[in-house]
A and B are shown apart, each in its own frame.
Chain A
Amino acid sequence: LIDIDFAELTQYLINGLAQGAIYALIALGYTMVYGILQMINFAHGEFFMVGGMLGLLFIQRLHMPWYLGFPMAMLAVGGLAVLVERFCYRPLRNAGRIAPLITALGISIFILEAVRITAGAEPRSFPSVLEDKVYEFGSVVLQQNQIVILVVSLVLMAILHTIVMKTKVGRAMRALSVDFDACRLMGVNVDRIISLTFFIGATLAAVAGTLVGMYYNQVEPYMGQLAGLKAFTAAVLGGIGSIPGAVVGALFLGISEALVVGYGTSSYRDAIAFGILIVILMFRPWGLLGKPIREKV
């Protein structure tokens, strides 16, 4: 009996980890943009959705192999994010906080409806890219898709970490998050760095979109809404603006959801997940890994 309970718990942890890794890939985009612009890009969930839908389009309709279709979906979504930033957010960069926020909501609705009108609102079956293989350890099942999700997100996070911490571009990003004007004075091409930030964040979200398609076998135009909200929650939970925080927050959220559904009931899944968020933010308003900051005067 103890063995079964342990196996069941392990199973929830594995399932939660896979879901958390997907949240993490989306949460990174929120946190990177917020870190630099102090702006919550509510259209980010739609980048995730477009990634999944384009992945499906390239693989199923245009019959591309996945190793061609997925990178193309990533690049396309990255390009979309750069365009959105260039034409919708940049003109409003000095317009205070509310205008870009409302614009982001508008962009989100625009992208969602554009996809819904062209592709239809129906959930679509995502082709099995990899064999539906499972590895059994006693009564614990590890799906091949789960391994792929974990490996891909780990590799991407490692790459992101290297970019942010070890490259010149990364140093510019970190500098921008501290002081905009000083960076400009030091000769940093601010617009280019911001474009790049949007590009990287959106490609990560697009990867998450295709992974979700592979893992849950379906994509639909509305998938970005709840996933975007959850990832945003994860970013806030971990401390918005902090890259490791986004990852920790996302894994925390994914695992707690799996445990709530496993040992409690699915009806309370979102209530408990957001309840945890509220409690943590009451005691640590800056999130798990964020730093308390004083408002610049």
Chain B
Amino acid sequence: MQTRLNNSSFFSTLSQTLLTPVLALASLGVAQGAAQAAPLKAKVGIFLPMSGGTATFGEETNSGIQMAVQEINAQGKVKLELVLEDEKSEVTDSANAVKKLINVDKVDIVLGSVASSNTSAAAPIAQTAKVPLLTPASTNPDVTKKGEYISRICFIDDFQGLAMAKFAIDTLGAKTAALVTDSSSDYSIGLAKAFKDAFVERGGKITVEVSYQQKDQDFSSQLTRVRVKKPDVVFAPGYYTEIGNMIRQAKKMGVKNAKGVQTPFLGGDGWSSPKLYELGGDAIVGHYYSDHFSEEDTDPTVQDFVKRYQKKFKIIPGAMAALGYDSAYVVADAIIRAGGANDREKLMKAINSTKGLKGVTGVISLDQNRNASKPLVILETQRTRAAFKQRVAP
């Protein structure tokens, strides 16, 4: 087994945790010979944006979950059955999808979604029905405040906003910033506020605040207002569809700082999509955003995941794929500790007491607010992908 992993010290640290991707693969080999107890069965409902303005989030997350579940099922301890619903990047469809998963499909646990507004809309339904809802990627702090059945495996926006404000001031030397907020998204509003608070506290100045809404195509008026203020950075915590387009328009309109250099745009994990580069074109080079995961991470767990994901799906995994992958392992781990999925309360408590589970997005431990505290990475956009810039510890 050790020769197969080619890294014995790495394996010994892993063996302390119950489930890891690498361990899962390793025990796959062992499981074939040994007789096993009947696997613990669970029905997992997934609601994700498989279409609409954030569709790549849904596709990636789903791929990550599918890959993890295949590994988990092959391992034999837990058998997960998946039911997928498309929430179409819409708030109402998210609520309906979760209603259907709980009432019609009778799932034991729900995974999803990505956009915080959509998860927030579904959360009260899961809370009332007492079905655990675990979100892989919704970062708005309020999402998990809907009740004890709602939890997440990612960091929250206060941390992203703080990290990007520090980065703007310390690394980019910014003194002034413009805020461009998606006013139809809880995520964007919350993240903009977190950035603003941290930036102002550290002596920075917000010179202009403008907003847009999802599905907008024309940002010329907002960018005109930004342009006359010549800010050092523009903080635009939106989703990739609008951001890609906005950055392309900003370049055309010549949004520059006081020295006449193109103003860099900064954002959060809502940028994390290959579509950003397609929609942004040549203008996308030289901007920064914070994310959960970088495929350039040299950690062997990450590299192993990237290799296997790439082999399976023929593309490099993004942060959403990594979070989806980890979320399925958190579910499997909780089911084993709860001794099954029939008792929803026990399952909820098992999820909320997840500790030290080493995933591909970092070590996952849920705190008393059911949030995970994990490091983030700051990435710099290049022509077709994002390059690792720095890591920020929580």
Contacts and interface: CB of A to CB of B under 8 A. Distances in A.
Contacts of B278: 124-125
Interface in B19-67: 51-53, 55-56
Given A8-B225, A265-B183, A143 B211 contact: no
B281 interface: yes
Given A121-B51, A122-B275, A216 B253 contact: no
Interface string B234-252: 0000000100110011011
A151 B6 CA distance: 67
Contacts of B244: 125
Given A262-B225, A266-B213, A217 B218 contact: no
Nearest to B55: A122
B259 interface: no
Contacts of B221: 12, 15-16, 257-259, 261-262, 266
Contact of B212 (A123, A222, A266): A266
A218 B245 CA distance: 8
A217 B254 contact: no
B252 A216 contact: no
A189 interface: no
A226 B215 contact: yes
A103 interface: no
Contacts of B275: 122-123
A179 interface: no
B51 to A, nearest CB: 4
A136 interface: yes
Given A121-B52, A122-B275, A125-B278, A136 B211 contact: no
Contact of B279 (A16, A212, A217): A217
A15 B281 contact: no
Contact of A132 (B215, B217, B225, B251): B251
Contacts of A8: 224-225, 228
A11 interface: yes
Interface in A127-145: 128, 132, 134, 136, 139, 141, 143, 145
B220 interface: yes
Contacts, number: 93
Interface string B203-240: 00000001111011110111011011000000000000
Interface in B237-288: 241, 244-245, 248-249, 251-254, 275, 278-279, 281
A233 interface: no
A19 interface: yes
A136 B254 contact: yes
Contact of B218 (A15, A121, A141, A143): A15
Contacts of A265: 183, 210-211
25 contacts: A4-B228, A19-B220, A121-B51, A121-B55, A122-B275, A124-B278, A125-B244, A132-B251, A132-B252, A134-B253, A136-B254, A141-B253, A141-B254, A212-B217, A216-B245, A217-B248, A217-B279, A218-B245, A222-B215, A259-B221, A261-B212, A261-B222, A265-B183, A266-B222, A267-B211
Interface of B: 51-53, 55-56, 88, 183, 210-213, 215-218, 220-222, 224-225, 227-228, 241, 244-245, 248-249, 251-254, 275, 278-279, 281
Interface of A: 4, 7-8, 11-12, 15-16, 18-19, 120-125, 128, 132, 134, 136, 139, 141, 143, 145, 212, 216-218, 222-223, 226, 257-259, 261-262, 265-267
